A and B are shown apart, each in its own frame.
Chain A
Amino acid sequence: MRHIISVLLENEPGALSRVVGLFSQRNYNIESLTVAPTEDATLSRLTVTTIGNDRVVEQITKQLNKLIDVVKVVDLSEGDHIERELMMIKLKANGQMRAEIKRTCDIFRGQIIDVTPNTYTVQLIGASDKLDAFIASLGNMASIMEVVRSGVSGIARGEKVLSL
């Protein structure tokens, strides 16, 4: 099963490599990874999506907690949560397909953020499966030139917070 694990991490040199190293060292899988400083500059927030059975994910959270630089760990998928991913996708868009692509883009509430006579660059935000669905819906309509995805970020619903 897919899990979204959120980690509050000391913003120290080498801290990220400890997290990434842990995953490769113990043969855990990383589907996506995002990391950036928080409002407190001494802390980074890291989100990793991984696939594994309950036992593996339990080990992942325990092993993450053991890292000295890790302040807190939570498996967001254990409760209600919101996940978002940002995608920028550059498409070949000319002739009559331009209008068609624009329509599909609107349906997915994407925005065209850059235009040339032959291309569209579309920005789309949503859960990962929505981004997948957009790519699938393009079908033969447009050829994809480039895809950039940010990886998943997540936050718990309601009043639950991950902070110091």
Chain B
Amino acid sequence: MVVRALRDEGVKYIYGYPGGALLHVYDALFQQDDVQHVLVRHEQAATHMADAYARATGKAGVALVTSGPGATNAVTGIATAFTDSIPMVVITGQVMSHLIGEDAFQETDMLGISRPIVKHNFSVQRAEDIPSTIKKAFYIAQSGRPGPVVVDIPKDMTTPTDRFPYEYPKSVKLRSYNPISRGHSGQIRKAVDMLLQARRPVIYTGGGIVIGDASAELTELAKLLNFPVTNTLMGLGGYPGTDRQFLGMLGMHGSYEANMAMHHADLILAVGARFDDRVTNATDKFCPTARIIHIDIDPASISKTIRADVPIVGPSKVVLEEMVSLVKESTKKPDAAAIDSWWKQIDEWRGRHGGHYRTDDSELMKPQQVIEMLSKVTNGDAFVCSDVGQHQMFAAQYYKFNKPNRWINSGGLGTMGFGFPAAMGVKMNFPDADVACVTGEGSIQMNIQELSTCKQYDIPVKILCLNNQSLGMVRQWQDMNYESRHSQSYMKSLPDFVKLVEAYGHVGMKVDKYADLEGAMREAFALKDRLVFMDIAVDPYEHVYPMQVPRGSMRDMWLSKTERT
């Protein structure tokens, strides 16, 4: 019934790992061809693959893991999806009902463990409830503010000799859960009036644009108004990265112009963003002159850290659509002179510090150069799946994302080991697209066992390992805050990655000169049907800048090792 329900939900791939509690389900999988199972090497990777599929398509990914350690291994992946509001259904096996609570072999209380990191979880109590429970799980995961849902199924619920009438519901209704479908018109009108009067506006958008499929509406509104747009880490791709009106990312490692514009703005239109601490810096110094319009599908995100002057609860796509038509209908127009002088100011900031880094102070390749090369070689069109650390920030800053759903990273939880399985999940579902995993020698080793899965299923992702021989982001903080005491941030025994990937049957490349980079990268992407691991030696001393000064305002930034605003 589990497999049939997944088939009827239209699931093509599930990612998982078998075990005792799931043997009935795996036997059912074996006897059909509609739902294809991908055997990972560690359950964490299964959840990241399912998660990345959801990030790239907007539809819930599915992971299947057994009870006990299988389920606990999935916890990091569930939390990763939860923090970034990614729809996912995780089916966990459980020991037989009569053994629950008796500390049985491979028993853990998965409902209890997962409770704080799921949108909802279910325990199947009666086998005949399996189809409706799975339907509810998908409905909850994908509607409203999306998130992961765990369905815990005791082994005796899947006994093949027990037969039940099967019917997969077309839709479900829950009296206690009614996701909002549109925003309050009065509030939207009020917001549009404010937009048309703004003199120094900034549109600040997050993952809600990407997962809410509102990129086109956002772009139309920004173009109509000629307002600057900045994206959060999760929101990159929500607005075209090469457009003149795009200021880059904002926040801790945001661009100089984005952070300066935010600080001096008189109106901020926040859409699908949650004023996270990595964005706002000190909340009491945040954007002192700005009034704030906040659109979010989750009322709890509004006025959580920063009070909104005009809160609008609703799906970003629908609300922005309504705003666009109101702006078009309105007899009022934005104050062109004020907006022009605002742009002059922004362009001046942009000219002063727009994305500069030094290449002259050492022979070593800069990580930023690698990302810029990737952007060039793939025409800004690749799926870029990132791990966590300095390379992630460089990718966010220097890759020019022109399309949504192409930048796949663990933004909220910051899960090292995410990037590689994520790239695998995307590549399996978009076999013709270029899929790059940008990683470091630290992150990649957290899920490197998946090289084996890639061999089994021929998943030809391209791995760009920015190898600085240290945990770069930790090291940077140690340089800045701990007088360069590099406590445990240096890895003394790195493997020979080229030999390692060759042992798994893939292609390895080592690049240590910038002159060789373009040729090697083009060669790697030309090898369409092979996984290529590029071990790229980069400057181990490089820091990510700008970097906001802790407890400061948006505009307080380090711009290099020696310059501060």
Using CB atoms, name the residue of chain A closest to B177: A68
CB distance from A49 to the nearest CB of B (A): 21
What B residues does A70 contact at CB under 8 A? 176
Interface membership of chain A positions 1-22, coded 1 if the CB is closer than 8 angstroms to chain B and 0 otherwise: 0000000001001100110010
Q: Knowing A13-B123, A68-B140, A69-B176 are in contact, say whether A62-B300 is a contact too (CB < 8 A).
A: yes
Report which residue of A18, A63, A68 has the largest number of chain B beta carbons within 10 angstroms of its beta carbon. A68
Interface size class of B (residues with CB under 8 A): 10 to 19
- Contact of B115 with A by CB under 8 A: yes
CB distance from B57 to the nearest CB of A (A): 24
- Contact of A31 with B by CB under 8 A: no
Q: Knowing A14-B111, A70-B176 are in contact, say whether A63-B300 is a contact too (CB < 8 A).
A: yes
CB distance from B305 to the nearest CB of A (A): 10
Bound-state CA distance A21–B111 (Å) is 12
- Are the C-beta atoms of B176 and A10 separated by less than 8 Å? yes
- Are the C-beta atoms of A14 and B175 separated by less than 8 Å? no
- Contact of A143 with B by CB under 8 A: no
- Contact of A71 with B by CB under 8 A: yes
- Are the C-beta atoms of A71 and B116 separated by less than 8 Å? no
Bound-state CA distance A14–B176 (Å) is 15
Using CB atoms, name the residue of chain B closest to A13: B123
What B residues does A13 contact at CB under 8 A? 123, 125
- Contact of A148 with B by CB under 8 A: no
Which of B112, B125, B176, B299 is the one whose CB lies under 8 Å from A68? B176
What A residues does B174 contact at CB under 8 A? 68
Report which residue of B116, B119, B176, B300 has the largest number of chain A beta carbons within 10 angstroms of its beta carbon. B176
Which of B115, B175, B177, B300 is the one whose CB lies under 8 Å from A59? B300
- Contact of B303 with A by CB under 8 A: yes
Number of A-B contacts (CB under 8 A): 35
- Contact of A164 with B by CB under 8 A: yes
Using CB atoms, name the residue of chain A closest to B174: A68
Interface membership of chain B positions 87-116, coded 1 if the CB is closer than 8 angstroms to chain A and 0 otherwise: 000000000000000000000000110011
- Are the C-beta atoms of A68 and B119 separated by less than 8 Å? yes
CB distance from B486 to the nearest CB of A (A): 33
Bound-state CA distance A63–B304 (Å) is 11
- Are the C-beta atoms of B116 and A58 separated by less than 8 Å? no
Bound-state CA distance A164–B175 (Å) is 9
- Contact of B298 with A by CB under 8 A: yes
What B residues does A17 contact at CB under 8 A? 112, 115
Bound-state CA distance A62–B121 (Å) is 19
> Given A21-B115, A59-B300, A68-B140, 19 more contacts at CB 8 Å?
A10-B176, A13-B123, A13-B125, A14-B111, A14-B115, A14-B123, A18-B115, A25-B116, A58-B303, A59-B304, A62-B299, A62-B300, A65-B299, A65-B300, A66-B298, A68-B174, A68-B176, A69-B176, A164-B175
Contacts from A to B (Cβ < 8 Å): 10, 13-14, 17-18, 21, 25, 55, 58-59, 62-63, 65-66, 68-71, 164
Q: Can you list 25 A-B contacts (CB < 8 A)?
A: A10-B176, A13-B125, A14-B111, A14-B115, A14-B121, A14-B123, A17-B115, A21-B115, A21-B116, A55-B303, A58-B303, A59-B300, A59-B304, A62-B299, A62-B300, A63-B300, A65-B299, A65-B300, A66-B300, A68-B120, A68-B174, A68-B176, A68-B177, A69-B176, A164-B175
